[in-house]
A and B are shown apart, each in its own frame.
Chain A
């Protein structure tokens, strides 16, 4: 394969596979906690961080990370109260982050093409910093999930019971939200912030149909995520289409197929 000899393609593949591990693991928690819109909200809010980074001359990855983590903490602080307030908080954070980003970017006078890459992904433009970010994120995600696995499981399954067993539910949720924010920022490099929500929800949704434990679901979701992002990358190259979108379309097509398989299976069994 000739394309594998290009350095940009090698980096793109490394980041795709690394991001898939974090995406499958955190996406599984997003799925079982029924918090897809929360992930979308955090991803969009990080747009504000990009604006901040352009104004201050920071690395955009740093700006996006700061805003994503802030957004997750704000939503976390509000969402403890009631479901309705959570909905409102997520919508407000989503739009406020985008608005702040646009205003700051306008002031900074940045060329718009650069923004497109954050909105729709730029996997072929990833650099060594992105690889380092992905490695560190995976180490963090895997160690936290390993240490707190039974707590994450208990809080997602039945948070009232977890509370009665002395689990610090609020703290466990906050850790989960921060990890979601960090993962969303990494995924933005691949699919763009608009489509992050798909990478956090489609692979786990397929994995849920074929697994009976949270751990297995995390592993399968990571594998599926890697298959979609690597497969999508090659497909995009072959067809000369935007990689982020092809990754999502491939994932969505497989999701539709999985739903069909499940429907047929429940019909016959």
Chain B
């Protein structure tokens, strides 16, 4: 048992009196590949923000690698959603170098080593030829690879991805999941997604979030989960993947 992420009774939200997630308990083991699924508004992104340290929990504690998220900046790689159509005058190389900011120091300049590492990560993702390309001219799948290269540039121990397949086609998705499985040999991966079709073949664990914690483990039947929490039961009832349920406002029914 070697948890890299430990959430204890975490309640958080943005508006006073309206918590988005309530009393969440979550343990993520080193080397895990966890998919966090759940309906829109169920708290997937809020959970991610709490784990990243971008949102302070109102109650409860968050430990990443045994300490507060603030002290492990750079050890957690973050891959945001690709926003289609967003234009910005920037090259691929400049984007990837952002993953070296914490190493370069502030202020300061990126060194030759920073650039070498950036190229190395682009190579790993098979897009080194795009290093000097205009980010705006890339396809959704290519942009996503650039953002992963950026997250990897700091050699993180944990990789957090927010809706990574939202703007790529299905062929790209398959190679993308294979890439994550490959990366999972070296780091813990947590992926927030509403794409439930493909994940069961690739991930090691699934957590379903919709508000508060109701239970976890394989003992919950898929159909009742679906009915009660709005989680996709096809995945849970058919999949061999162990899952946890982090949510639901009707916990009494479950008991």
Contacts and interface: CB of A to CB of B under 8 A. Distances in A.
Interface in B46-61: 52-54
Interface in A134-163: 147-148, 150-151, 153-154, 156-158, 160-163
Given A153-B94, A164-B78, A165-B74, A217 B89 contact: yes
Contacts of B66: none
Q: Which of A148, A160, A165 has the most CB of B within 10 A?
A: A165
Contacts of A163: 54
Contacts of B109: 150
Contacts of A166: 73-74, 101-102, 106
Interface residues of A, number: 26
A224 to B, nearest CB: 14
B134 interface: yes
Contacts of A208: 87, 89
A216 interface: yes
A129 interface: no
B220 interface: no
B195 to A, nearest CB: 22
A212 interface: yes
Contacts of A148: 106-107
B89 A211 contact: yes
Nearest to B132: A212
A61 interface: no
Q: How large is the interface on B (under 10, 10 to 19, 20 to 34, 35 or more residues)?
A: 20 to 34
A161 B102 contact: no
Given A157-B88, A211-B89, A165 B107 contact: no
A157 B54 CA distance: 17
A32 B106 contact: no
Given A157-B88, A165-B99, A150 B110 contact: yes
Interface in A149-205: 150-151, 153-154, 156-158, 160-168
A213 interface: yes
A102 interface: no
Nearest to B160: A164
Contact of B90 (A147, A160, A162, A214): A214
B180 interface: no
A151 B99 CA distance: 12
Contacts of A32: 88-89
Contacts of B104: 150
A161 B94 CA distance: 13
B163 to A, nearest CB: 14
Contacts of B52: 160, 164
Q: Which of A154, A162, A217 has the most CB of B within 10 A?
A: A154
B50 to A, nearest CB: 13
A166 B105 CA distance: 9
B98 A213 contact: no
B107 A151 contact: yes
A217 B89 CA distance: 7
Interface in B79-96: 80, 87-91, 94-95
B76 interface: yes
Contacts of A214: 89-90, 94
Interface in A213-229: 213-214, 216-217
B110 A213 contact: no
Contacts of B95: 157
B118 to A, nearest CB: 13
A161 B76 CA distance: 11
A150 B97 contact: yes
Q: Which of B76, B80, B89, B110 has the most CB of A within 10 A?
A: B89
Contact of A168 (B76, B88, B91, B106): B106
Given A157-B90, A212-B91, A213-B90, A162 B101 contact: yes
Q: Which of A32, A157, A211 has the most CB of B within 10 A?
A: A157
Q: Which 5 interchain pairs have the tightest Cβ spacing?
A: A165-B101, A212-B134, A165-B102, A147-B107, A166-B102
Given A164-B74, A165-B102, A168-B106, 5 more contacts: A150-B101, A157-B95, A162-B98, A164-B78, A213-B89
21 contacts: A32-B88, A150-B101, A153-B98, A157-B88, A160-B52, A160-B54, A160-B78, A160-B80, A161-B78, A162-B98, A165-B73, A165-B99, A166-B73, A166-B74, A166-B101, A167-B101, A208-B89, A212-B89, A212-B91, A214-B94, A216-B89
